Structure 1
Amino acid sequence: MTVRVSRLAGFCSLLAVLCLLPPAAGAQAPSTFPLDDQLANQPAPWTVKGQWGARGNWGRWGEQDRRGMANFLTPDLVMKAAGLVTKGKVYALGEEVHNDVPRAITPSRFGPQIVLENDGYDRVTQPGQFDPKRNQGAASYTIMHNHVGTHLDTFAHIYRENALFNNMPPPKPVGTVHGDAASVKFIVGRGVLLDVARYKGQDPLPGNYWITLDDLKNTAKAQNVEIRKGDVLLIRTGWRTMWDKPGPDGRADIAHRQYLQPQPGVGPDCLPFLNDMEIVAIGADTAAVEWNFPFDPNYTRKAFNGFQGLPLHVDFIWNRGAYIIEILNLDELAKDGAYEFLFVVAPLLLRGGVGVPVNPIAIR
C-alpha cells in the first residue's frame, strides 16, 4: 500500500509540473479571445473612406458641424421617443458626485473636492450667535477632473492624425472650443437598455468579458426589445457593485482593486452593426464601455491589424461623431425591466471641457 501511494503521489507531482510547462516550440496555444483573432486582418472602420468626406461621418452635416450624430435625432425621432412615456416614471442614471465616486483611479483623476467659500458665520453678530434680522448663507468651490463619475466623452477626448472629428483642430492646453462639452448641447431620443448580465446569468459579468454582437442581439431578443436606428444604447454588465466590494479581509477596499481590474466591455466585433444602426450614443456601467485591457499583460491585441488603442472610442468619437457615456448607474432601470424609454441628457455647457459630468434621465 505504501508503495502504491508513493507511486500515485509521484505521478500527480509529475502531472502538475507538466501542466505548468510552456507549450513546446511550434505548439499553438488556444486563443483566449477567438474573435480577436478573426478580426486581425479586418480593416478598422476609420480606415475606410466615408460617404461624405475623408472619414465615416466627416462632412455629413457640413464642414462646420460640431455635434455629429446628435444631428441624427430629428424632431420626428424625438416625438417618437416621447411617445414611450406612458407611466411618468423618471430614472436618474448618474452617480452622485463625491470624493469617492466611481472612476478610473489615477493620480490626476482624484475624487471631487468641494470646499466652502463661506460657512454661514459671515452673517452673524458674534461667533455662534444668530441675528434674527439677517440670514445665514454658504457658497462653495468644486475642484474635479471631468472624467470621474458618470460622464460624457466629447469629441475633443479622442483623436488621431492631429485632428478631431470632422477635421476640427485638436484641443489646446487652454481655450479649447472645438468638440468641447459646450458643443454637445443636448441628446434626446429613444434609449434602450441591454441587461447583458441578466441575459448571461452572471451578475456582474466576469472581469475582462468580451461582449459580442451575438450577446447584444440575443439580449435584445430575450428582452423583446428592438434595436433601431438612432438609438442610445445602454449596456448593463453589473460591474457597478464591484466598486463597493470589500477586500479579502472583509474591510472596505479604499483602492477599489476589484473594480479596477480589467472590466467587461463591448467588443470591436460589434462596431459594424453599431455603425449600420446609426447608434447616436453608447453607455455602460463600466469605466470604458468597451473591452480593452486583458488580464494577461503579455497578451497582444490582434483586431484591426493589432490596433492597441481603444477601437470603440476611436470609431464612435473620431470617425462617426457619436458619443460615449461611462460609469452609468443602470440598476434601477434593470430592476424594473425598463428596456426602452425616452432618454435625455443636457451636459453642462462647459466651454473647453474635454469631458463633462452628466446625470442622464430615462423616462417611461
Structure 2
Amino acid sequence: MPDQTPPIPAGWVGGFEQSNPDFAYPDPNLTSLDMLGNLDNIDKLQRQQAVLWPEFSWETEPGAADPKRAYQMFAPDISRLGYTDEGRVYSIICPQQGVCSPAIGCLNVEVTVTGQRGWANETDRTLAADMEVTGKIWFSPSAKQKTLYKVFWEIFKHSSHPFPSSKEHAIEVTTFRPGQPDQPIFPLLKGQSKTFPIPDFAKHEDDGAWSVGNLAVEIGPIKPTGDSTVDKFNELVLEVFNLGAGNMLKQGNTLTWNVWFNQPGLVDQEEWAAHAEKWRQSIDADHGSPDGEGTEARYFDGSPFSVVQSLEDQEIKKITSFIKSHL
C-alpha cells in the first residue's frame, strides 16, 4: 500500500544549531540563549512538530525496592514544538492531563511552560531545548458531585480562604531538574529516555513517528499561597490525589516523557495562538481531548495500574480530621 503521508513542506533552511558550537551534542549548552516567554514570540513561528504520542512514565511507589513504574500516553496533539525555518525554538506547548481519584473526583493537571529556549534540526531529526515549568492542579466540574468536595466548598465559600476549584486558585507544585533542586530549568533532548526500561506499547516507530525526544522533571514542594490554612489544605488534597494517582505528584518523584513527534509542518500563527490559548485555559478532565483520549496507566507487563482502597480510606479520615481541626 503506498505511503499516504503528505510530504514535508518546503522552506526548511536550518543553521541555527550550528550557529554556536556549545549547542552541539553530546551535551548541548543553551545558556547563551535567553529563556523566553512561551507565548511571546508566536509571530516568529514558521514550522512545527506535533507530539502525537506523549508517553508519560513515573514510579507509583518511589523509594520501594520495586517502585512499580507506570506508563501512560497522554491525549494526542496537545504538545507541540514551534520554531523558525532556521531551527530556533520559540514555543513549546507541553503535555497535560486530567486525572481522577475515587476519593476526591477528577482534577485537572497542567504543566505550564513558563520559559523555553532551544533548536530543532529537521535534516537529522534532532532537537535540544531547555524548559522551565510549574505544575497546577485544581478540581474539575465533576468533582462537585463528590461528597468531600461538597463539604469543602460549603466551608470555604463562607470563609476568606481561596478554594482550588479554578485555575486562578490552583495548587501550584514546583519542579526542577532531577537531583538539582536549585535548578528549575531542565532539558528536552533527542531520543528516548535511557533511565528505565520502555515497553513495546510505549514505542511508536511502527506508528509512523518522525522523531522522539525525552524530558524529565522532579517534583518539588507546593508553592506557598501566603495563607497557612490553604497551604495545609492543599498539601492534604495533594496527598489524597497522589494516592489515587499513584504518587504522580509526590515530592521527590521524577516524571518522564518520551514525546514522539509527527513529521514537520508549517505553522498557522493564528491557529497556534488559538491552540495554545485553548490549553492555557486548560484541559478539563470531564471534557476530554478533541483529538482523542490517551491510554489508561499500566505497568511494564501491560497490567493496569490500580489503587489500594484501604489506604485511600485512611486518607479520607485524614481530610475529615483536618476539616474538624482547621475549618
Does the alignment reach a TM-score above 0.5? no
Q: Normalised by the size of structure 1, how large is the TM-score?
A: 0.23
- More relative contact order, 1 or 2 (CA 8 Å, 6+ apart): 1
TM-score (norm 2): 0.25
Which entry has the higher C-alpha Rg, 1 or 2? 1
Report which of the two has the higher share of strand: 2
